Amino acid sequence: INLVNIHTNFLFIYKEKKGELEIFSKEEIKNLNKIPNLFIVRTKKPRFLEFNQFEDLLKISDCLISQSHTSTTIWQAINEMKYVIAINNSFESSFLKDFEIETNLESLNVHFQKFISMNNDMIIEKLNKIREYVNINKIDGLEEVYKDLIHNSV
């Protein structure tokens, strides 16, 4: 919420995954919904959402801030060339720290400031370095499997 209040010229989308916001009272949720640059998507079972699926929201986003540095959403975002900030408050740092995209909650604003100061070329360069390191390439894996199946069935 601090980040949302500091950077009022950005729209933040908070997508609940499994009822994480249930720790808040109805009044607190009502107050969160009043924040003009915060859009909350609530769900306990994301796969049943008709709208606002993660993949849909990712398409209109510039940056993913993940509450878990081990989330698969990080790889989905990097695959779609979206900047990522991964929060890690509990474990030893991962290799993501080497790419300066892993932080703790206390330093989140510093990392967000770095993101917004980068131009598009800098973001693409950083994402390509990560993609190369983890061997995410530009080839569509499903398309390659399909081609292989067709080729081998002849």
Q: Report DSSP letters for 9-54, one per residue.
A: TS-EEEE-SSSGGGGS-HHHHHHHHT-TTEEEE--S-GGG-SS--H
CA triplet 66, 71, 73: central angle to 5 degrees? 75
The model carries a pTM of 0.81
* pLDDT confidence tier of residue 53, bands split at 50, 70 and 90: confident
**What's the pLDDT at 121?**
97
- For the chain, the average pLDDT equals 89
CA triplet 132, 137, 142: central angle to 5 degrees? 150
Mean pLDDT value of segment 101-110: 96
The answer to whether residue 50 scores a pLDDT higher than 80 is no
What are 73-100's pLDDT values in tens digits? Answer: 999 999 999 999 999 999 999 999 999 9
What are all long-range contacts of 119-126, with beta carbons under 8 Å and residues at least 24 apart?
123/83, 124/81, 126/83, 126/99, 126/100, 126/101
Q: At what angle do helices 120-133 and 72-79 cross, to 10 degrees?
A: 120
Question: Measured on CA atoms in the order 121, 125, 127, 132, is the torsion positive or negative?
Answer: positive
